[in-house]
């Protein structure tokens, strides 16, 4: 479904409800959707929000039991922007609890299912938001991306997923995960709609001091998919790590077509010792920041409260019952690295290594317009076989898109093809605030593959 296709909010809600038994993508509905404006870039467009986005007067749970009764008293900045553009908010989507996970299995309402095969995961943490676009019900949904949480679900569901430059979109009113890594982003079925969506969502917001003063472009109107003369870096370190022959063959075939379209392809590499540190550095920083950000979820100020004999007892009981064991384990890791005696050897060391990784990453962009890689090394795993590892090693072919969270660079995932009927994808990343170049390259790739508006209708 495209943004300019006509579907009322009521129709979208009916289709979402019909899809629930199979997909389980929605946490709550707007029973009486309201169009805020008769005109605007998104006039009448039904939109689904990830359920960590505050909406005034409407429950916002972040898929966590501790927030199951939380009703915000204000709208997030992006909600106001959507309404001002004429969008119709129709539902709130499931997510991994508090954004912590990559499977969308640990949501309070249960696992979200992939529309191409409901026995497989949607990916996470923005899995619900991805699925409602991939199933053709809405043309635009909002997610957040702390460590590929938009771009990996986009890959698994065969749609376009955008994480813009850090600070490009305000995070005011977003329930946080890790403040130095969090980005607001979104899903569409084609690059032009993705370009238009950023025009609506981007811009400086004085409520969010990390938001940028960089001007917002006319990304859709200026879109140009001509690849002739464009120089594209191929992320060899990642692509060589992908073992699936079908995915590798599809990527190689795309590269040949890009060269035929006039693009200049050059290989780019990063030291493997840095690539292997992506996962531990991410886990250390993200868990520490999450622990600090969610210390206010204590059963005292707001959210679920479990009675106890003292303030400390209420807090302990509320947090024990309010969080899943998976999230509690992350808080333990985060707290440990924030202990005064551990900060230098864990948290601050991770920050220093992050800087080294980002400096090496930046060198890959010298002399190229963008960097292209295979987004995910496999199709979406089966639900029963997938798990979010709390500890242990992981392949950097799985984790490499976290580099764009470390660096804040804009990054887009888009379809490459299918294997066994399941989507596979590529990722394009550009230098900070070069979203127009990112969209132009993605448009050229989309024209090459012919894979715009890919949806799996039920």
Asked if 30 contacts 122 with a C-beta cutoff of 8 angstroms, the reply is no
CA distance 214 to 432: 10
Dihedral, CA of residue 418, residue 16, residue 195 and residue 282, to nearest 10: -70
Radius of gyration, CA atoms only, the chain: 21
Q: What's the pLDDT score for residue 136? A: 97
Q: What's the pLDDT score for residue 300? A: 87
166: enclosing H helix or E strand: none
Residue 104 pLDDT > 80? yes
Q: What's the pLDDT score for residue 303? A: 82
Asked if 322 contacts 299 with a C-beta cutoff of 8 angstroms, the reply is yes
CA distance 422 to 455: 12
Model-level pTM?
Answer: 0.97
Sheet of 160-163: strand order equals: 26-29, 88-93, 46-50, 140-145, 183-188, 160-163, 411-419, 422-429, 370-374, 231-235, 264-268
Average pLDDT over residues 376-384: 96
CA distance 408 to 411: 9
Average pLDDT over residues 348-359: 98
Q: What's the pLDDT score for residue 249? A: 98
Band (pLDDT 50/70/90 cuts) for residue 45 is very high
Asked if 444 contacts 263 with a C-beta cutoff of 8 angstroms, the reply is yes
**pLDDT tens string 13-41:** 999 999 999 999 999 999 877 666 678 99
> Which two structure tokens, joined as six digits, stand for 421?
């009927």
Asked if 397 contacts 242 with a C-beta cutoff of 8 angstroms, the reply is yes
Give me the phi and psi of 115, to 5 degrees please: -65, -20
Check if 149 is active-site. Answer: yes
In 321-421, which ranges are E strands? 370-374, 411-419
Give the active site residue among 7, 50, 92, 283: 50
**pLDDT tens string 418-437:** 999 999 999 999 999 999 99
CA distance 357 to 350: 10
Q: What's the pLDDT score for residue 350? A: 97
Give the active site residue among 19, 149, 170, 452: 149
Per DSSP, the three-state class of 132 is: helix
Average pLDDT over residues 290-317: 90
Give the active site residue among 94, 125, 126, 324: 125
Residue 75 pLDDT > 80? yes
Band (pLDDT 50/70/90 cuts) for residue 140 is very high
Q: What's the pLDDT score for residue 204? A: 98
Q: What's the pLDDT score for residue 39? A: 84
**pLDDT tens string 382-423:** 999 877 654 555 689 999 999 999 999 999 999 999 999 999
Strand partners, 35: none
The angle subtended at Cα 163 by Cα 84 and Cα 68, nearest 5°, is 70
Asked if 149 contacts 107 with a C-beta cutoff of 8 angstroms, the reply is no
Check if 310 is active-site. Answer: no
The mean pLDDT of the chain is 95
**pLDDT tens string 195-207:** 999 999 999 999 9
> Which two structure tokens, joined as six digits, stand for 369?
């317009």
Per DSSP, the three-state class of 235 is: strand
Asked if 430 contacts 449 with a C-beta cutoff of 8 angstroms, the reply is no
Check if 50 is active-site. Answer: yes
Q: What's the pLDDT score for residue 389? A: 57
Cis peptide before 360 (omega within 30 of 0): no
CA distance 446 to 110: 34
pLDDT > 70: percent of the chain: 98
pLDDT > 90: percent of the chain: 91
Q: What's the pLDDT score for residue 388? A: 66
């Amino acid at each position: 479904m495209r943004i300019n296709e006509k579907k009322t909010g009521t129709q979208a809600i009916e289709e979402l409800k019909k899809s629930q038994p199979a997909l389980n993508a929605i946490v709550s509905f707007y029973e009486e959707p309201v169009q805020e404006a008769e005109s605007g870039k998104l006039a009448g467009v039904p939109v689904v929000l990830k359920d960590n986005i505050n909406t005034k007067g409407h429950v916002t749970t972040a898929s966590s039991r501790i927030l199951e009764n939380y009703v915000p008293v204000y709208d997030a900045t992006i909600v106001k922007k959507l309404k001002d553009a004429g969008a119709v908010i129709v539902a709130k989507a499931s997510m991994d609890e508090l954004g912590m996970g990559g499977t969308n299995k640990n949501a309070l309402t249960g696992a979200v299912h992939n529309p191409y095969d409901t026995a497989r995961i949607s990916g996470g943490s923005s899995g619900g938001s991805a699925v409602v676009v991939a199933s053709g019900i809405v043309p635009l949904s909002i997610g957040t991306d702390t460590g590929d949480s938009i771009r990996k679900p986009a890959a698994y569901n065969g749609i376009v997923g955008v994480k813009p430059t850090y600070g490009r979109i305000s995070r005011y009113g977003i329930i946080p995960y890790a403040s130095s890594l969090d980005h607001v982003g979104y899903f569409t079925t084609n690059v032009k709609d993705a370009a238009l969506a950023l025009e609506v969502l981007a811009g400086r917001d004085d409520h969010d001091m990390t938001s940028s003063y960089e001007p917002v472009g006319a990304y859709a109107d200026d879109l140009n998919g001509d690849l002739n003369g464009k120089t594209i870096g191929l992320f060899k370190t990642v692509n060589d790590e992908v073992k699936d022959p079908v995915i590798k063959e599809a990527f190689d075939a795309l590269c040949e077509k890009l060269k035929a379209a006039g693009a200049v392809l050059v290989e780019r590499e990063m030291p493997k010792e840095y690539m292997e540190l992506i996962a531990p550095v991410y886990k250390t920083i993200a868990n520490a920041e999450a622990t600090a950000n969610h210390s206010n979820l204590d059963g005292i100020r707001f959210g679920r409260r479990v009675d106890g004999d003292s303030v400390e007892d209420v807090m302990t009981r509320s947090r024990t019952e309010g969080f899943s064991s998976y999230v509690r384990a992350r808080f333990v890791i985060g707290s440990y690295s924030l202990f005064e005696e551990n900060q230098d050897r864990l948290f601050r060391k991770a920050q220093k290594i992050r800087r080294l990784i980002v400096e090496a990453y930046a060198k890959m962009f010298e002399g190229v317009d963008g960097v292209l890689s295979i987004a995910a090394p496999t199709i979406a795993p089966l639900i029963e076989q997938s798990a979010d590892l709390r500890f242990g090693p992981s392949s950097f072919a799985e984790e490499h898109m976290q580099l764009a969270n470390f660096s804040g660079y804009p990054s887009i995932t888009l379809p490459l093809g299918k294997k066994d009927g399941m989507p596979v994808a590529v990722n394009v990343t550009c230098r900070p605030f070069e979203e127009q170049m990112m969209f132009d390259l993605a448009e050229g790739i989309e024209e090459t593959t012919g894979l715009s508006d890919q949806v799996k209708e039920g």
